[in-house]
Structure 1
Amino acid sequence: MNSNKITILEFPTNLGLRKRDADTEPGVKKLPDWLKKHGFHKRVNAERTLRLEPPAYAMDFDKVTGVRNADKIINYAIEQAKIVSEHLEEDVFQISLGGDCSILIGTAIALKQKGNYGLFFLDGHTDFITSEISQTGGVAGMDLAIVTGNGHDTLTNITGLEPYFEEKNVFCVGNREYDTAYVRPILESGITYFDLKRLQENGFTETAKQFLEMVEINKLDGFFIHLDVDVLNDEIMPAVDCRANDGLTFEAFKELLKPLLLSPKAVGIEITILDPNLDADGTYTKQFIKHFLELVDYGKAKTVNT
Structure 2
Amino acid sequence: MKKDINIFEFPFNLGLTKKEHETEPGVKKLPDWFRKFGFHKRINPKNIFRLEAPEYRMDFDEETGVKNTYQVIEYAKKQSELILKHFNTDTFHLMLGGDCSILIGSALALKQLGNFGLFYLDGHTDYILPKLSPSGGIAGMDLAIASGLGHQKLTNINDLKPYFQEEHIFCVGNAETDDDQYVGEILNSKIHYLDLENLRRNGFRKTTEDFLRMVDEKNLDGFFIHFDVDVLKDEIMPVVDSRMEDGIDYENLKEILKPLIVDKRCFGLEITILDPDYDKEGIYTQPFIENLIQIINEPTKRI
Bin the TM-score by the shorter chain. Answer: over 0.9
AA partner of residue 268 (structure 2): G
User: Which letter maps to 1:240?
Assistant: V
Cα distance in 2 for partners of 1:23, 1:291 equals: 29
Q: 1:19, 1:104 → 2: CA distance?
A: 19
| Paired position in structure 1 for 2:74 | 75
Q: Within 1, Cα distance between the matches of 2:22 and 2:167?
A: 41
Q: Deviations over 1:240-278 (max 9, x none)?
A: 000011100000011111111121100100000000000
Deviation digits for residues 158-206 of structure 1, max 9, x if unmatched? 1101000000000000000011110000000000000000000000000
How far the C-alpha of 1:136 sits from its partner, in A, is 0.6
- Stretches of structure 1 that go unaligned for 5 or more consecutive residues are none
Q: Which residue of 1 aligns with 2:44?
A: 45
CA–CA distance in 2 between the matches of 1:262 and 1:10? 22
Aligned to 2:295: 295
CA offsets per residue over residues 106-154 of structure 1, 9 Å max, x none?
A: 0000000110000000000000001111111000000000000000000
Aligned equivalent of 2:101? 102
* 2:157 is equivalent to residue 158 of structure 1: yes
TM-align CA RMSD: 1.1
- Amino acid in the other structure paired with 2:10: F
Rounded Cα–Cα distance in structure 1 between residues aligned with 2:286 and 2:266 = 25
Distance in 2 between residues matched to 1:210 and 1:87, nearest whole Å:
30
Tell me which residue corresponds to 1:189. Answer: 189
1:204 maps to what in 2?
204
Equivalent-residue separation in structure 1 for 2:187 and 2:84 (angstroms): 32
CA distance in 2 between partners of 1:302 and 1:31 (Å): 30
TM-score normalised per structure 1:
0.97
1:72-110 CA-partner distances (Å, limit 9, x unpaired): 110000000001112221100000000000000000000
Q: Which residue of 2 aligns with 1:63?
A: 62
Q: After superposing the two structures, state which structure 1 stretch, 86-95 or 274-283, moved more.
A: 86-95
| Runs of at least 4 residues off by over 2 Å | none
In structure 2, the CA distance between the partners of 1:23 and 1:172, relative to structure 1 (3 Å rule), is: closer
Q: How far did residue 22 of structure 1 move? A: 5.4
2:134 partner letter: Q
The aligned counterpart of 2:275 is 275
Residues 193-231 of structure 1, C-alpha deviations (whole Å, 9 max, x = no match): 000000000000000000000001001000000000000
1:8 aligns to what SS in structure 2? strand
Secondary structure of 1:248's match?
coil
Partner secondary structure for residue 130 of structure 2: coil
How many residues were matched structurally? 302
Instruction: Write the distance in 2 (CA, Å) between the matches of 1:216 and 1:124.
Output: 26
Amino acid at match of 2:275: D
- Name the SS for the 1:159 alignment partner: helix
Structure 2 unaligned blocks of 5 or more: none
Residues in 1 aligned to 2:180 and 2:129: alpha-carbon distance in whole angstroms: 15
Matches of 1:296 and 1:22, distance apart in 2: 35
Q: Name the residue aligned to 1:229.
A: 229
Q: Which amino acid aligns with 2:272?
A: T
Q: Distance in 2 between matches of 1:22 and 1:31?
A: 19
> Partners of 1:261 and 1:6 in 2: how far apart?
12
Distance 1:171 1:8 in 2: 24
1:17-45 C-alpha deviation (Å, 9 max, x unpaired): 00111543100000000000001100100
SS of aligned partner of 1:94: strand
Task: State how far apart, in whole Å, the 2-side matches of 1:127 and 1:85 are.
Answer: 25
Q: Which residue is equivalent to 2:92? A: 93
Q: Percent identity?
A: 55
When normalised by structure 2's length, the TM-score is: 0.98
Distance 2:285 2:252 in 1: 18
